Every structure is written in structure tokens, then in C-alpha cells.
Amino acid sequence: MADPLLQVVDLFCERDDRVLFEHLSFNVFPGEILQVEGQNGSGKTTLLRILSGLSRHYEGDILWRGTSVTDSADVFRRELLYFGHQAGVKAVLTPEENLAWYAALDSGIDLKQIPKALHAVGLTGFEDVPCHMLSAGQNRRVSLARLYISRAPLWILDEPFTAIDKKGVATKEALLLEHASRGGTVLLTTHHELDLSRHVRRINLDELSGT
């Protein structure tokens, strides 16, 4: 088996005197889709924020390609796509302008791919409409369009399917599979029943929580 992309070693996180998880260790290999499960408040978002490097309230080690993410933060960030609770879409900018900003932030993105990505998420015809005129689901789609243009191997997706319609979810699931089959890795949380369940490995946080 190939070397793991991401290694989590003995992770411990405590929030307001409540242990969210301890002795959490797992490896993520290229081509894997990993779903983090747990009830509300079990620490799914916290775990994803820790893994992406947003939150530093943890003990333990996180290794990316064998080196600690805090030591090689630049390399890690270049290979990471994070999709959080807030979509990161500016309401007064148009979808096209929003994606152009992401292209500026991530030099791996090709500007010419933006129209194609907007088409892929079903926003053709809305390129020039300010995002505050779009629906909640469409706003999420603007942010999800990043999945089509990014070249990052690691996708960390926190509830990516919220407010997305059924057909959209199916398309995104196919997209996740395609990403995995080209050697990418997905870590996600979702309350949707995934059709691709047999491809997914699960981590359940409920079993790990202490008191």
C-alpha cells in the first residue's frame, strides 16, 4: 500500500472542559473518501478545522506526507481545499468575481476554467448576478465550483451538501468518486445518506468522546 497522505497521531481535543476526542489516530491514503460521523456537537467540525490548520486547540501530531503540518504549513496549504460551514462567498460580488478571487489566492487555478466550473454547478446564466440575489443553495454552489477548478489533492469538506438539491448532491457524489479515482483524498462530514457508501471509510466520533 502507498504511504499515507495524512497521518493523525494520538489527537486530543477538549472544549469547555468536555473531551471531544482523545487517542484519535488514523491514516488517510490517496484515493480514499473518509466520512467523519457523529451526532451534533460531537466535534466533527472541530476535527476538520484542526486538520485543515484553522484551529490549534489540540494535542497530538498531524503529518502530511510524513512531515508535521505545522512545520510545512505552506506545502500543506497548497495541497488543501477546505470547504467550511460558511461558503466563503462575497454577497456583493458575482460568482465569476468570487471564483477569480479564489484563483488569485491559489495560483494552481487556471482562470480559463471558471466558466466551465460555473456551468458544471449549474450556474450558467448567473455569472454576472451578484451573489446576494442568488438562493442559499446557489451560493453554496458557487463555492462548490472550486472543486472543479482546484488541483489540490486533499479536500476537506464540512457539510458540503447543505441546501443543495438532490440532483446536485448526486453530481457532487460522482465528483468525489472521480477525485478519489485520480488519487485525491476527501474528508467530509454530512448528514446526507451517501449513495457511494461502499467507497467510504467512516470514523465515528461518538465512540471516542470521553467525559
Partner 1 sequence: MSETKLQPLAVAQHETEYRPGRIFVATLKRELQLALRRRSDLVNPLIFFLMVATLFPLGVSPEPTILMTLAPGVVWVAALLSTLLAMDGLFRSDYEDGSLEQILLSPQPLFIVVLGKVIAHWMITGLPLTLMAPLIAVMLFLPAEGMSGLVLSLLIGTPTLSLVGAIGAALTVGLRKGGVLISLLVLPLYIPVLIFGTAAVDAAVTGLPLAGHLALLGALLALGVALAPIAIAAALRISVSG
- Residue 209 contacts residue 43 (beta carbons within 8 Å): yes
Residue 84's nearest CA partner among 117, 130, 51 is: 51
Rounded to the nearest whole angstrom, what is the least distance from the CB of residue 204 to partner 1 in the complex?
25
Name the grid cell of 59: 494535542
Q: Whole-angstrom Cα distance, residue 95 to residue 90?
A: 9
Residue 157's nearest CA partner among 179, 188, 180 is: 188
The residue among 1 and 211 lying less far from partner 1, judged by its C-beta, is 1
- Residues contacting residue 200 through CB under 8 Å, at least 6 positions apart: 33, 34, 35, 194
The residue among 166 and 211 lying less far from partner 1, judged by its C-beta, is 166
The residue among 56 and 198 lying less far from partner 1, judged by its C-beta, is 56
The residue among 24 and 180 lying less far from partner 1, judged by its C-beta, is 180
Q: What is the 3-state secondary structure (H, E, C) of 67-98?
A: EECCCCHHHHHHCEEEECCCCCCCCCCCHHHH
Phi/psi of residue 51, nearest 5 degrees? -65, -35
Q: Which residues bind partner 1 (CB under 8 A)?
A: 52-57, 65, 74-75, 77-80, 82, 84-93, 97, 101-102, 104-108, 110, 113, 116-117, 119-120, 122, 130, 148-153, 171, 174-175, 178-179, 182-184
| Beta pairing partners, 209 | none
Rounded to the nearest whole angstrom, what is the least distance from the CB of residue 75 to partner 1 in the complex?
6
Rounded to the nearest whole angstrom, what is the least distance from the CB of residue 92 to partner 1 in the complex?
4
Rounded to the nearest whole angstrom, what is the least distance from the CB of residue 207 to partner 1 in the complex?
27
> DSSP class of residue 129?
S
The residue among 57 and 202 lying less far from partner 1, judged by its C-beta, is 57
Rounded to the nearest whole angstrom, what is the least distance from the CB of residue 104 to partner 1 in the complex?
4
